[in-house]
Structure 1
């Protein structure tokens, strides 16, 4: 079958883009797994933070906020970045980094905000706009919107090879299914470079990294009013979950081949050790442990745009692909369909042409 645009990858990136363009083009959405969102989208820590990813990602996150809020995907959480006396420079750097942006940050005393916080954690920066994201509903709604607009979704259709012939991409997937499309979009996340290679396009160095998460039962239980807590030096973060549980990450990044990752025991132990150095709670048990893949381009900015032969990159979203999905989808749609770019977004900073080949 022939389509205008074939999108490889049905995680949050591919699903949001298909939803944005499906009513204006014949779209095919190819997913290698039996269900979309298995590797990264379905394993997200599920928060929206305007500081996450730094000031170059902030415009995408901020632009996505009203769309996520209007759709009812955000619930209040609030965040506190914490540090010790020796972290004063890092605290000041965080405040300075976002001083010229619309992000609301302020110096706070973290002690009354985080029960059980150890005495040496004396410094804090409050980020009141931080919120939970209902990731499953957001991703599901994007897929439903894409389907309603006519997008064809093929699961269990891992791309094996693609070649450009007579102005058309001829796409071969596993189990012998073949498709044609004028434009091929690489939204394959951790597999983005692999997909490019299979299409005869030079990879740009998008590297997958493993990130560890654990769900803990603690004594005392994590209060429902607990904010999202982040070590200003990037050593850990944790947030409350239903039933007094706690989600904790050691904020690790381990470069790995793209595959179905699992949490390593050492990383789980490191996470718990860092938590116990921050609060005086006792860890009763580890109830769940998992890992997800984050994928970054060499400069750690996402890659949106055409490279060559109607091959379109929509990848490298790191750990902020969900919180920036609405704005990213609008950028992708504007570039693919030659429509107006969202206000306040400089798409050139995310173009694949910034990498020298």
Structure 2
């Protein structure tokens, strides 16, 4: 039976297992698992079946799959707050997502990738690059003033694949990968915050627009994406006249609903634009902390913006005769993993 060592590594990472954990589950040694994954040794068929059972995949999963897509350039929000195994698991989901997308690309027309590029040097600490990049992106993607109605829908309309990570990867923050042929953005549903989710989306868009060649995880690069997101969602030209100079909570609550950003983001924006003094800002944040608003701000709870492009694509190919099982088979992923990545509506 054919065996592709990279597919074993992919399956192990998908399940968030270390080599010693997988070895224990199948009754072998971590060294043997390492040899299987390195291609030094091929597992015997009984061992291969035990591997498949332990990893929740069919034996056929280990056969040569689709062309590997590198995820080395993934932009994670903070490399320190997540373990390597957690990032590996999230990237494994990204890897099989590329296989699903490749299958769908052959069956249905997805929106053309249409993102502007505005490279900003990772050495630029306080320059105007991120602001200019955000202004360019807004003009290219929506070309209208005011709030962004639906950030996820905007990304999808311009060819970006947006996916929600399965709960197994709950400690991983949002991340993006500018891979060929389609950029991808992944969200974490465990955060469960509509306001933060929108800011995350704009932050990851910043990476896609500015950081094709930047080293992922660098603090300056993350700060640049943060500044991009603030300008993209709250353009200085449009919002400056609306922001209060002092923490007017009723006014901030109104702006939060209108602009789709948190009160904390609005306060920070007021400070960075010089509308609110440093002292007023710190007092406002202190008040938010004392009231427990740093964790749960007041306001109407809203459902996260949900991606629909791939769900709709699967519905279309299903109507043409290729159901979810057929898509999963062609992509060489399990039906369960497909349903996790692309839920039913």
User: TM-score band (shorter)?
Assistant: under 0.3
More helix by share: 2
Q: TM-score, normalised by structure 1?
A: 0.26
Structure number with bigger Rg: 2
More strand by share: 1
Q: TM-score, normalised by structure 2?
A: 0.27
